[in-house]
Structure 1
Amino acid sequence: MSLGILCSGQGGQGPGMLDLLRRDPAAQAVLDRAATVIGQDPRTLVAGPEAEMQRNAVAQPLLCAVQAATWAALRPHLPPVRAVAGYSLGELSAYHVAGALDADELLRLAMRRAEAMDRADPEPGGLLAVRGLDRARLEAICSDCGADIAIENGADRFVVGGHRPTLAAVEQGVLALGAAVTPLSVTIASHTRLMAPAAAEFSPILAASGLQAPPLPVLAGIDGTPVYTRERAVAALTRQMTETVTWAACLDGLIEMGCTVLLETGPCNALARMAAERRPGLAVRAVADFRSLSGAATWVERQLG
């Protein structure tokens, strides 16, 4: 029996995302440092207008700061980790959890990633969650409309990316086939062809960064296979900017690597809920489900017995 860690992506940020960290010295030290590195105190951002937290340039470093702070607080109280997987932006945080990036470098890379993505496409874009349609039919609609499948969460659960008029056309098409759609609070068409300029800009930044070969395997978002080398880490983090994130394959990969307990350490529980739906009976929870960090750590200890 072993532990796998899930690192959240964008979408879960909100005013209560630091509540569990307020009394933890290790977490507060990371947030102090984050304020210096990113030039804005995460605690001030979280206390400010919620709309500001949704801006890509703010959301990416903020979420990475919260992930790093949460991990600093939790890590001493958890058993050894078998593998790590991160959803979208969370894949960058996963390399921090795995020991391949220190917190400062994580935040610097998150800032540069967000800047590159904001510059990549001047036309407003976004993401649309689609549920209840198989991949073949959804791909046909996307092809007709000029959209891309950004994330695969399951056999009939996807996220589509594109410009806003394109997403409106996709929404019409999938609704006509009886599927359900949910617009996501993201302003960038992540994991689509529209991010090709961002990938071209970010790749040499990654290559010149302090990213190391991960001491723990990190599952590549593009195919769910474990990454062990620095070269593949750079390639995987670059490719996921323009290619479909196969999150379903990442969850399956964690199970195949022997992870019997999964803990989501970001500010929400979306990944834990998806894992529970995909693998009924699996021991999976999110830190956000608990009233304290110690409660989360105690739950993990009990599951691993």
Structure 2
Amino acid sequence: MNLRLAILCPGQGGQHAGMFDLPRTDPGTAGLLQQWLSAAVPGQPLEQVLADEELLFSNRLAQPLIVAASAAAWSALQPLLPVPALVAGYSIGELTAYHVAGALSAPQAIRLATSRAALMDACLQAAAPQLLCAVSGIAVSTLSILLESEHLYLAIETGADSCIVGGLAHDMQRATGAIESLGGKLRLLPVTVASHTPLMDGAVQPFAQQLQQQFSVDPPMPVLSGLSGQALTRKEQAVSVLSRQLAHTIRWSDCMDACAEQGVTAALELGPGAALSRMLQERHPQIACRSVSEFRSLRGIASWLQRL
């Protein structure tokens, strides 16, 4: 096989207490992590955060920790892997993708993740809690019509009949019966902000300003836009997409199709979790897909790719 590798950077949902264990087996990465994690969880012991699900899944800590975990996996693996053909990231993972692509340092990406989370949290109102919910079993085209009438939003499109819906909790409660009556199945996600919906409009411009200050070079390798699946190669494009995606629908299905169109033959998800590699494997079975979380050693990951 003529290997063309895609690196996948996950979003929220796969956090767990052991998410830093494998990268720490690389001595160089273990040293870097000490510096990175002090910025990701300032003033709090990491082990306390990892042992407390409420903290681990809180938006303010989840975003920088996920970026740090994926960046650590990349730090440990990069010397062992071929140069990727492209990088793709899901939600906050799209920020990580620009680190993997070489346009941001890990400390920059972690700081931006912390700022991103704070700006999104500032869009919350205590009297009107927000949520994200996975919906499957109903055509997205049909669901979209219902969502508009219920003041809910398509946050992430993952397939023809699967997606993530965002909005206010009381609007989702009111719409649940109608969605189920159409054959839809709902699963509440452990996320307290309605990411990728107009409820995050207030975060877009401030985050764009912060991104402009941090991006100084074009990404040396293509990064797929979460808004369209287009391969981006300029820093101006990165700033625009990374800020606009806060309040606009992520087309992850387009990103998966772009991997196939770009001739990707293997995809490695950096973790934590394995949701992206599973989705891509199901949608495009010809692409060999694995997650770092499925392996016991860094060498095992490199050996898998060498066998393809």
Band the TM-score falls in, shorter-chain normalisation: over 0.9
Whole-angstrom distance in 2 between the partners of 1:172 and 1:29: 51
Whole-angstrom distance in 2 between the partners of 1:178 and 1:99: 44
Amino acid at match of 2:88: A
Partner of 2:285: 280
Partner of 1:121: 124
Amino acid at match of 1:156: D
Q: Shift in Å at residue 45 of structure 1?
A: 4.7
CA 1:156–1:275: 2 relative to 1, 3 Å: same
Whole-angstrom distance in 1 between the partners of 2:38 and 2:69: 14
Q: What TM-score results when the alignment is normalised by the length of structure 2?
A: 0.95
Partner of 2:210: 205
8 Å Cα contact 2:260/2:287 also seen in 1: no
Q: Shift in Å at residue 94 of structure 1?
A: 0.3
8 Å Cα contact 2:37/2:68 also seen in 1: no
Whole-angstrom distance in 2 between the partners of 1:40 and 1:62: 14
Partner of 1:54: 57
Whole-angstrom distance in 1 between the partners of 2:132 and 2:195: 8
| 2:288 counterpart of 1:292 | no
Q: What TM-score results when the alignment is normalised by the length of structure 1?
A: 0.96
Identity of aligned residues (%): 43
Q: Shift in Å at residue 42 of structure 1?
A: 7.6
Whole-angstrom distance in 2 between the partners of 1:108 and 1:37: 7
Whole-angstrom distance in 1 between the partners of 2:252 and 2:103: 21
Amino acid at match of 1:233: A
Q: Secondary structure of 1:259's partner?
A: coil
| 2:97 counterpart of 1:94 | yes
Once superposed, which parts of structure 1, at least 4 consecutive aligned residues long, lie more than 6 Å away? none
| 2:28 counterpart of 1:26 | yes
* Match among 134, 148, 151 for residue 146 of structure 1: 151
Q: Shift in Å at residue 178 of structure 1?
A: 1.1
CA 1:120–1:94: 2 relative to 1, 3 Å: same
Partner of 1:251: 256
8 Å Cα contact 1:34/1:42 also seen in 2: no
Q: Shift in Å at residue 80 of structure 1?
A: 1.1
- Deviates most, 262-271 or 275-284: 275-284
Q: Shift in Å at residue 164 of structure 1?
A: 0.7
Gaps of 5+ in 2: none
Partner of 2:79: 76
- Deviates most, 167-176 or 96-105: 167-176
CA RMSD of aligned residues (A): 1.4
Partner of 2:68: 65
| 2:111 counterpart of 1:108 | yes
How many residue pairs get aligned? The number is 303
Cα deviation digits, residues 184-210 of structure 1 (max 9, x gap)? 110000000000001122111111124
Whole-angstrom distance in 2 between the partners of 1:177 and 1:41: 46
Gaps of 5+ in 1: none
Whole-angstrom distance in 1 between the partners of 2:284 and 2:49: 33
8 Å Cα contact 1:35/1:41 also seen in 2: no
8 Å Cα contact 1:31/1:42 also seen in 2: no
Q: Secondary structure of 1:116's partner?
A: helix
